[in-house]
Amino acid sequence: MNTKWLKSFKIAIIEEDINTVDLLLNEIPEFRRIDDMREAYTLIGEAKKRFESEQANIQQKMNKMKQAKKFFSIDMRESQFDEVY
The answer to whether residue 69 sits within a structural domain is no
The pLDDT of residue 71: 85
Give the three-state DSSP class for 14.
Answer: helix
3, 29 in Cβ contact below 8 A? no
Query: Is-above-0.85 flag for pTM?
Result: no
The answer to whether residue 47 sits within a structural domain is yes
The answer to whether residue 8 sits within a structural domain is yes
The answer to whether residue 82 sits within a structural domain is no
The answer to whether residue 83 sits within a structural domain is no
The pLDDT of residue 24: 97
Domain count, the chain: 1
Structural domain that includes position 47: 2-60
The pLDDT of residue 73: 80
* pLDDT, one tens digit for every residue, the chain (85 residues): 789 999 999 999 999 899 999 999 999 999 999 999 999 999 999 999 999 998 999 999 999 999 988 888 876 666 665 655 5
The answer to whether residue 68 sits within a structural domain is no
The answer to whether residue 45 sits within a structural domain is yes
The answer to whether residue 73 sits within a structural domain is no
